[in-house]
Structure 1
Amino acid sequence: MKLAADLQAFEQKLGHRFRDPSLLVQAVTHSSLSSATRPDNQRLEFLGDRVLGLAMAEALLQADMAAAEGQLAPRFNALVRKEACADVAREIGLGEVLKLGRSEMLSGGRRKEALLGDAMEAVIAAVYLDAGFDAARAIVRQLWGPRIGRVEQDARDAKTALQEWVQARGQQPPSYTALGRSGPDHQPVFTVEVRLTSGESEQAQAGTKRAAEQAAAKALLARMEGRNG
């Protein structure tokens, strides 16, 4: 009964009431709890990735009619990557209704970025199968709306900006080195160093290797731009 009530509350946050509730149950079922009679969300994740991609490509084309493909591609990648999907999942409380096996639950599965991102794609697929592409598109635009508006700034990430800065000054692209990983499996901390061929470097820590690289690049770019006025 509690699970049914939780899923009904989740439907309200999602903005879609399922005609076939079993689709939502499958979308929130992780492989650690699957069985012959309880399918997991992996097949839905595969479909949802494609539905999200089509809905997002359409939204970006309509948001900027003059943008070239070279401008649209990084915006698209920023919006559909696992980190973005996981952020949306957190905003609507998807982790709270995931059906996980005991070991996955004890290891902090409800907070894992990859798991949340996959489940978000599975939920999009469930909406698509339940009510068609128009309904899935509406959900994507509702949940990703603010991100679509600011994606041009987000897509120009710190690593790209740093690489453009050094190349404009005749240097080779910066190198990134993973210095270590600490913390428990469900909440790791990655330490990364970025270094220029001219010798300058910065280190940063974050919950994912990619985020640590971005933070290090941002810190080094800020220092180099400040030094050069």
Structure 2
Amino acid sequence: PNAHEGALTRIRATIVSKEPLAEEVKKLGLENYLIVGKGENVAYISSQAKIMSDLFESMIAAIYLDSKSIDVAEKFILSKLADLFNGKCKHFGEDDYKSRLNEFASRNDVSVSYSEVERTGPAHNPTFVVEVKINTFTAGVGKGKNKREAEQNAAKVALEGVMKK
């Protein structure tokens, strides 16, 4: 809580991102206990950061339910994610262009808004196109497999543009 708002935003974004949680699952070897349906490829599933991060979150829930103690769950979280909380994780602030753009906006007293401008592809595998505006100026457009990724890509383009000026 003593950190600057921007640093806290980066810490939060890192903690809730898939990759660090997926890495922790691999460190703990939890993917070896994953039960999958017949015909599912365990190697493929364990390479999916989303599934591995869900497994980590499930582990936290199981610890809480078994111990009936939020303190025990918190101790587990803090012991496994200490580097994230301390900003020492290799993923810290990585690719968090939205937070950086929001910090820029805050420093320069401008507003930032995102809007989906296009969605293509099948429902099970869409591609999103998002534009980011600084005040009323379209500062960047990004594509992604989900809105968050498209917003991050749009923010990256916008940041590259404002850093040139």
- Whether these two folds match at TM > 0.5 is yes
Q: 1:223 to 1:76 in 2, by over 3 A?
A: closer
Change (3 A) 1:133 1:161: closer
CA contact (8 A) 1:74 1:155 kept: no
- The match for 2:62 among 98, 109, 126 is 126
The answer for the alignment partner of 2:98 in structure 1 is: 159
Task: State the match for 2:156 in structure 1.
Answer: 218
Residues 178 and 190 of structure 1 are in contact (CA less than 8 Å); yes or no, is this contact kept in structure 2? Answer: no
Query: Which secondary structure does the structure 2 equivalent of 1:150 belong to?
Result: coil
Q: Please give the alpha-carbon distance, in whole angstroms, between the structure 2 residues aligned to 1:87 and 1:178.
A: 34
CA apart distance, 1:122: 2.1
What residue is the counterpart of 2:83 in the other structure?
A: 146
SS at match of 2:112: coil
In the alignment, the residues of structure 1 paired with residue 159 and residue 10 of structure 2 have an alpha-carbon distance, to the nearest angstrom, of: 21
Q: Alignment partner for residue 52 of structure 2, among 103, 111, 116?
A: 116
- Flag structure 2 segments of 5+ consecutive residues without an equivalent: none
User: Which of structure 1's runs of 4+ aligned residues deviate more than 6 A?
Assistant: 70-73
Whole-Å separation in 2 of the counterparts to 1:175 and 1:162: 12
Output the amino acid matched with 1:174.
S
Q: CA deviation at 1:99?
A: 0.8
Aligned in 2, Cα 1:181/1:219: closer, same or farther, shift over 3 Å? Answer: same
- Distance in 2 (CA, whole Å) between partners of 1:134 and 1:170 is 41
- Summarize the Cα distance change of 1:166–1:106 in structure 2 as closer, same or farther, 3 Å threshold: same
1:93-142: per-residue Cα shift (whole Å, max 9, x none)? 43343112237x36954444544333212212334426966654443233
- Find the aligned partners of 1:131 and 1:110 in 2 and give their Cα distance: 29
AA in 1 matched with 2:93: D
- Is the contact made by 1:159 and 1:217 (CA closer than 8 Å) also made in structure 2? yes
How far 1:179 sits from its partner (Å)?
3.8
- The structure that is strand-richer by fraction is 2
Q: Secondary structure at the match of 1:202?
A: strand
**Corresponding residue for residue 130 of structure 2:** 193
- 1:81 and 2:19 correspond: no
Range with greater deviation from structure 2 (212-221 or 133-142): 133-142
Alignment of 1:171-182 (within 5 A): 171-177=110-116, 179-180=118-119
The change in CA–CA distance for 1:135 and 1:181 in structure 2 (over 3 A counts) is farther
Structure 1: segments with no counterpart, 5+ residues: 1-63
- Which has the larger share of helix? 1
SS at match of 1:199: strand
CA contact (8 A) 1:158 1:218 kept: yes
Instruction: For residue 80 of structure 1, report the CA deviation from its aligned partner.
Output: 4.9
Paired amino acid for 1:224: V
User: How many residues end up aligned between the 2 structures?
Assistant: 157
Report if the CA contact (8 A) 2:140-2:158 is conserved: yes
Relative to 1, partners in 2 of residues 1:192 and 1:101: Cα closer, same or farther, differing over 3 Å?
A: same
